[in-house]
Amino acid sequence: MLERLYSKRTPIMNVFADRTVTAVSVTRKLEISECEWSIIEQLIVLLKPLQALTKLFCGELGSSFSMDTIAYQLTTRIELQWKDIVIARHIASFLDPKYKNIDHEPSQVREIIRSHVLRFIESIALNISQNMYEEE
């Protein structure tokens, strides 16, 4: 959007400058200053890599071999691999009806999460029954 606006800069400025087309009050409200044009130009440069990545990751139905390599490199360099530690995100995903099958995790990880949640529920049930026994 910013690229298109910037590419149409001259016609936009001409329309604002022509008093037969645009009233002074409208021009004052809508006119883009040189400082703002400069900011738009800088934003285009800053956002360009994000646009390319978004198109690359979201534009394809299936990932190519190079995309698999990029995903692998991002995962290993940022250490996103599974570390056999069940965290709150895993438990919340498992308990959320939308994500209860946790299909986004590998099958081994799913089993570890399920067994962890099961042990957690069993320990809560045991604590409840012990507290009820102590109260009697």
Mean pLDDT for each consecutive 10-residue tract of the chain (136 residues)?
A: 93 90 89 91 89 69 61 63 66 77 77 85 84 69
Cα of first residue to Cα of last residue in the chain, in angstroms, is 70
Q: Which pTM value belongs to this model? A: 0.42
pLDDT of 5 reads 93
* 40 and 1 together in one domain: yes
pLDDT of 84 reads 61
The domain containing residue 99 runs over which residues? Answer: 81-136
Counting the structural domains of the chain, the total is 2
pLDDT of 37 reads 92
Q: Tell the residue number behind the tokens 């308990």, with chain if given.
A: 95
Note whether residue 98 is domain-resident: yes
